[in-house]
Every structure is written in C-alpha cells, then in structure tokens.
Structure 1
C-alpha cells in the first residue's frame, strides 16, 4: 500500500485486479496521474518498455493494488528506455544523412523492441518510401493507422511528412485513408484538409479535391498555401469561380498522363516561401468574369 501517488513504475500481483488473467505472475506498469485524479497505467512489454493500450483506473483502486518499484525502474526500465531512444535517434540521424540502409537497421531494431513506437514506425516507413519500396511501406502504414498516438501534436511533423511521402510515391488511396483517419480525430485543421485536397487531385478526383480545398479555406481564408493551390486550379482550368470542378475526372487523368511531373513534384511545383509568391494580374476568363492570373509559374510543395 502506498500513501502518496507518484508517477513511475509500479507492480501488481496478477489476481489483484480483474484485468489480469495469470494468477502467478507479477506485472509491471508505467504510471501517470491525470489531472482528473484518476490514474493511467500502461503495461511494460517483454522488453521492459511501456507499450500497448493505456488503461484508466480510479485512484483508490490503484492505491489498493499497485506498489512502487524504484529499483526495477532504475536498474531495468530506465536503461531499456534509454537504449530504445538512442536507437531511434541514430535511425533519424542516418535518415537525415540519406544513409537509408543504416536507418532501416536502427528503426527495425526499435520496432522489434516496441512495434507500436510511433517515431520508429514513422522513421521506418519514411525510409522505405525514400527508397521507393512501396510494398514494405504499406506494411508500416497498416500498423500506423491503428495507432491513435500518431495524431498527437508532438508527432505532427512526422505525420505530415509521411503523408506527403506516400502521395509522392503514388500511394494516393493510402494517403487519403491516412488523412481521413486523422479527420475523425481532428476535424478543424486547415492543413489536414489541404493535404486531403492535394491527395484527391493527384488521385484524379476533382470533386474531392475542390471539396476539401474549400473546407480548408473556410477554416482559414488567409491560408497562403491553400490560396496558391486554388489559384493553380483556377488558372489551369480545373476549377471555376464557383468553386466547382471544371473538367471531368477522366479528363484530369488524361492531364496527369500528359504531364506526369505534376504527380511527383515536377513542373508547377517546388518549394515556395511567402517572399517568392508570384505576382498576379487581372484577366477575363471568357465568361465576363475577372480572375487573377499569375505573371510567373505557380510552384507548390506541401
């Protein structure tokens, strides 16, 4: 029995609580007290790493059944967690230096230790995509979409990078499924809607493209990247001024076949900063309506 609650590693004897099945084994848990006063517990896996689902129990139940394990934490858990973090850091370092095979080794080792580690799975998937190994990336994708943790704010950069990389590797259906899974959790993110719009465009679905572009701009009418993409669609005749598709999906597919670079970052795309936005001049679109047309090419990379 403990008198005060502290976060850390705790143990419980199986059979003390109805969530356990084995009556003989001691179970170890990573523990965190929540603001509500309840306690969040997560089991350690066979490699002594916190992994798997997190369970919430009330404080009284916790104090009656769990005991602190400071020595086990210091001697076993902390070294295991540190070694895992070092594997992932080495993998990220190798990937940023384009040492993709060394990166694969480190990330694979990390996933073997904890197959639900978000950073390790993102790193491994991105490494496969950078090598163009789509089938192996698909296996990682299937793991990732089951993990709610990939949508946490601290993983936003990796989430976006993975989605963009899937799209650029022609995995349009996967990218759309990936983004829609995120939409179930967060339905007010203009960046997410723009990514969905772009994925639909490259898939050849203008209805989906325009729908999500408008959703992005409704949330933030001053969103520069969305405005730039809207101008690209208007100027090239993909969308009319009423925010409706101006050509059929079949015609868009023919356009992609004619200009395949649009699907992998070629002409019309590239890195753009606010200082590099093109100048626009007004012109008539043939229906008596005035539209803004860029003086130079529009380039996008998002």
Structure 2
C-alpha cells in the first residue's frame, strides 16, 4: 500500500501457453510479474518488470476487481522493485540537474546509471542524446533519438517537452534539415501537439521554406487558436508577403 492507502506493489499472473507442434505440443504455465499502482480514480496501472526488476514498457490499465481476482501479490519483491525504481528516478534527476548546468559528461554518467537498470527509460535516453548533441557528436545523438522514436512510451504527454527540447537544440545547432526530419517523425506519432507543429514551422522558417512554414503554423493554430507564437508567425509571414 502507498502512503495514501492506495494499492502499490508487485503482482504475478499465471498464463498458460502451448509449446511445440503436433503430438509433441503441450501446455505449460508461465508466471509474469507486474508492478501495479492504483490511481486516484480507483483503476490499476500495470507495467511489466525487466530482467533487473524495474518497471518498463507500456502501461496497461485494469480494474481493481481484475487485479484482486486474477493476480497474486509478491510482497517479497516489492522492496527491491521500489528501490530500483527510485534509483532510476534519482539518477535521471541528477542527470537533468547536471545537464542544465552544462556539465554534460557528469550528466551522461548519471543517465547511463539509469539505463543500466532500465534501458528503455525515455528521459535517460533523451538526456544522453542531448548531452551528445551539446558536444557536437551529432551522429551518435541521431542514433539515440532514432532509438527513442521506436519506444512506445516516448509519446506520452509527460515527454512532449523533451521532443520540443531536442528539436530546439537541433535548430540552435543550425541543423535545420535534421530538425525538420525529426519533427516530422515525431508528429507521425504525436500529431496533436501544437508545440511540435509550431517548432516545425520555426525550423521551416529558418530554411526559408515559407509554404511549409505557413502550413505547420496553420496546423498549430488549428489545434490551439490562442497559440501566441503561432499567431505571430502567421502574421509575420503575411506582413512580409511570404505567403
């Protein structure tokens, strides 16, 4: 239980699968472990555990009744799982702190500690990529962010600001073509983010592709009519006769 009396712990479920073919096939039971956390609305968020006993991957949602009926608590694992989860969170937080100070090597060390426990951690992957970009190691950074684009958990509301931060970093490095490619790929999976569309417009503006800039800015304003930067962008394009 959490401090608020909500369910939080490690649970297992037994699943039966068939292995083999023909006359040699048989059913075997397999146990899967999950980190479960009850939300304030009473639903249960479930995440699988990796080989290091750290919650990872997509978050599923079930009811409390389903949890209590189909899953068994594994209290002996909770202390380890919770400790590992906190260790990842603390390493990422330290990495963010050092990166904001410009101490990129120290930040990268902290992010690497987090990834040793949870290689799919989105914030740690973003952090290492931003450190590499700050050191002008553009090819290595590109590989990291290509990996991020393959993570389902990257495209949650919690991580939208990281996408924008990376695109802005690319633009500041005057890597406008890469910034455009990056925003386009991100928008394929998070197309309802007005800030991604605005930053795509900014990158297209730097490339002097006025039509593409206006199209992205218009999409930004379609999603968020009160977006001040997007409105100023459209007004500037119109005033200069660029559209």
Paired residue for 1:73? 78
Within the alignment, does 1:180 sit opposite 2:184 as a pair? yes
Give the Cα separation in 1 of the matches to 2:28 and 2:114.
31
More helix by share: 2
Structure 1 window deviating more from structure 2 (153-162 vs 50-59): it is: 50-59
Q: Tell me which residue corresponds to 1:123.
A: 127
1:52 aligned onto 2:57: yes
Report what 1:110 is aligned to.
Answer: 114
**Structure with larger Rg:** 1
Match of 1:300 in 2: none
In the alignment, is the contact (CA less than 8 A) between 1:179 and 1:196 conserved in 2? yes
- Counterpart CA distance in 2 for 1:6 and 1:141 is 35
TM-score, length-scaled by structure 1:
0.64
Q: Conserved in 1, the CA contact under 8 Å of 2:57 and 2:153?
A: no
Report if the CA contact (8 A) 1:194-1:226 is conserved.
yes
> Which whole-Å deviations, capped at 9, do the CAs of 1:243-277 have from their partners, x for residues lacking one?
x2xxxxxxxxxxxxxxxxxxxxxxxxxxxxxxxxx
Q: How does 1:157-196 map to 2 (within 5 A)?
A: 157-196=161-200
Q: How far apart in 1 are the matches of 2:17 and 2:67?
A: 12
Q: Offset of 1:122 from its aligned partner?
A: 1.4
Match of 2:47 in 1: 42
Q: Which residue of 2 aligns with 1:216?
A: 220
CA-to-partner distance for each residue in 1:134-176, whole Å, 9 max, x for gaps? 1111111112112243332322332221121122234444433
Alpha-carbon separation, structure 2, partners of 1:219 and 1:39: 31
* Structure 1 residues 63 and 167: CA distance shift in structure 2, 3 A: same
Q: Is the alpha carbon distance of 1:107 and 1:25 closer, same or farther for their aligned partners in structure 2, counting shifts above 3 Å? A: same
Q: Structure 2: how far apart are the matches of 1:20 and 1:9?
A: 27
Asked if residue 29 in structure 1 is aligned to residue 34 in structure 2, the reply is yes
What corresponds to 2:11 in structure 1? 10
Structure 2 CA distance for aligned equivalents of residues 78 and 221 of structure 1: 43
Q: What is the Cα deviation at residue 197 of structure 1? A: 1.0
Listed as ranges, the gaps of 5+ residues in structure 1 are 245-302
Distance 1:175 1:130 in 2: 15
Structure 1 match to 2:140: 136
Question: RMSD between aligned alpha carbons?
Answer: 3.4
Q: How many residues align?
A: 232
